[in-house]
């Protein structure tokens, strides 16, 4: 929903993304105008129950007070979980205090560790873990990992081996099956292999830093900031940001399948040079522009 860095432009909004997995909606960062973008791209507000905020710079949080207020005005009553650095709670509570806003729903805060990666969300389908990024203030990225799925039972084998419904869950877990005849049938003969688990990593504002590479190894899709062209490497280092070339180096060294770049400096009206620079180092690179949808499957 937003691909611009510090300031918005006429065509680009500050950072914000929505990740959907198994009909679960996760909001990552909430820059200025995020809720307007959600309306534009028909994101269902009520579906969002978990918000992940990478850090407290304005281009990543200034849309949050308005979004939370809109949820209140839409009569939301379900709990909302926010994963963030602790000072965000104070920022939001001051806003609500002085506007005399009393939310109809409860915000449950999950404060992020500044120096230690951790799993911050887990359910039956996936986990979300933090990446400790190298930025001017405490900043975290997030890695979404699908849990391995069960084996798929072969329907043609159910009748052939007289498999009862109550026996199917055990076979799907990788247990061999004892047929009524007494024959022990290997589970591999009765099932198809599970699909490879999907994964998505979000690297918000950061200098190039190889300390996060172990967590990024083999991720299917990587979003990595690419604020500047490499000719402005000195500026990138001064502001704790990354160049497009450096983003492609991260993707290449970590063996990801697809790289998405964003968080572009407002100095660039044309993003093609950034894309070209990244593609020289990693062919499967794409611009994470407003309105773009990328499938994990």
Residue 59 clears pLDDT 90, i.e. is over it: yes
pLDDT at 201: 98
Query: Helices 272-281 and 244-254 meet at what angle, rounded to 10?
Result: 30
What are 287's two structure tokens?
A: 């611009």
Residue 11 clears pLDDT 80, i.e. is over it: yes
Query: Does residue 225 sit in helix, strand or coil?
Result: strand
Concatenating the DSSP letter of every residue in 112-164 gives: PPSSS--EEEE-SSEEEEEEE---SS--EEEEEEEPPPPPEEPHHHHHHTT--
Residue range 195-234, pLDDT digits in tens? 889 999 999 999 999 999 999 999 999 999 999 999 999 9
Concatenating the DSSP letter of every residue in 11-78 gives: S-PBSEEEEEETTEEEEEEE-TTHHHHHHHTT--GGGEEEEE----SHHHHTTHHHHHHHHHHTT--S
Nearest to 220 by CA among 295, 279, 147: 295
Q: How far apart are CA 1 and CA 196, in angstroms?
A: 28
**Total Cβ atoms within 10 A of residue 188:** 11
Whether 23 is catalytic:
no
Concatenating the DSSP letter of every residue in 247-281 gives: HHHHHHHHT-SEEEEE-B-TT-S--HHHHHHHHHH
Confidence of residue 164 (pLDDT cuts 50, 70, 90): confident
* N residues, the chain: 297
Residue range 170-179, pLDDT digits in tens? 988 889 998 8
Q: How far apart are CA 82 and CA 260, in angstroms?
A: 24
Using alpha carbons only, what angle is made at residue 19 by residues 14 and 23, rounded to the nearest 5 degrees? Answer: 145
Residue range 250-275, pLDDT digits in tens? 999 999 999 999 999 999 999 999 99
Q: How far apart are CA 144 and CA 202, in angstroms?
A: 8
Do 14 and 62 contact (CB within 8 A), yes or no?
Answer: yes
Q: How far is CA 207 from CA 98, 242, 276, in A?
A: 36, 5, 20
pTM: 0.90
Residue range 93-114, pLDDT digits in tens? 999 999 999 999 999 999 999 9
Residue range 235-250, pLDDT digits in tens? 999 999 999 999 999 9
pLDDT at 134: 97
| Mean pLDDT (the chain, rounded) | 95
Indicate the fold that domain 16-149+195-287 takes in CATH: Metallo-beta-lactamase; Chain A (3.60.15)
Share of the chain above pLDDT 70, in %: 100
Give the active site residue among 29, 59, 167, 249: 59
Q: How far apart are CA 235 and CA 36, in angstroms?
A: 32
Confidence of residue 133 (pLDDT cuts 50, 70, 90): very high
Higher per-residue confidence, 80 vs 158: 80
Residue 118 clears pLDDT 80, i.e. is over it: yes
**Cβ neighbours of residue 102 closer than 8 Å, sequence gap 6 or more:** 96
Q: Where in the chain is the domain with CATH 3.60.15.10?
A: 16-149+195-287
Nearest to 138 by CA among 233, 211, 205, 236: 205
Residue 297 clears pLDDT 80, i.e. is over it: no
């Amino acid at each position: 929903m937003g691909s611009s860095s510090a300031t918005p432009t006429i065509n680009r909004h500050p950072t914000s993304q929505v990740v959907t997995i198994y009909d679960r909606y996760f909001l990552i960062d909430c820059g200025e105008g995020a809720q307007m973008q959600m309306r534009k791209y028909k994101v269902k507000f009520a579906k969002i129950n978990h918000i992940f905020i990478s850090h407290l710079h304005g281009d990543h949080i200034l849309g949050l007070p308005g979004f939370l207020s809109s949820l209140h005005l839409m009569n939301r009553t379900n709990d909302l979980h926010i994963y963030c650095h602790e000072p965000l709670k104070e920022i939001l509570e001051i806003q609500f205090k002085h506007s005399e806003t009393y939310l109809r729903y409860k915000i449950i805060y999950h404060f992020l560790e500044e120096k230690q990666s951790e799993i911050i969300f887990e359910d039956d389908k996936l986990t979300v873990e933090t990446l400790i990024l190298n930025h001017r203030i405490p900043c975290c990225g997030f890695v979404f990992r699908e849990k391995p799925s069960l084996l798929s039972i072969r329907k043609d084998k159910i009748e052939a081996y007289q498999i009862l419904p109550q026996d199917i869950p055990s076979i799907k877990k990788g247990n061999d099956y004892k047929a009524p005849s007494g024959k022990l049938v290997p589970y591999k003969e009765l099932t198809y292999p599970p699909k490879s688990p999907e994964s998505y990593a979000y690297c918000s504002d950061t200098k190039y830093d190889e300390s996060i590479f172990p967590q990024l190894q083999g991720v299917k899709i990587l979003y990595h900031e690419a604020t500047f062209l490499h000719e402005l490497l000195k500026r990138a280092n001064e502001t704790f940001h990354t160049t497009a070339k450096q983003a492609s180096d991260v993707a290449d060294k970590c063996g990801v399948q697809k790289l998405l770049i964003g968080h572009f400096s407002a100095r660039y009206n044309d993003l093609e040079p950034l894309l070209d620079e990244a593609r020289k180092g990693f062919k499967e690179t794409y611009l994470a522009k407003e309105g773009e949808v990328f499938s994990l499957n």
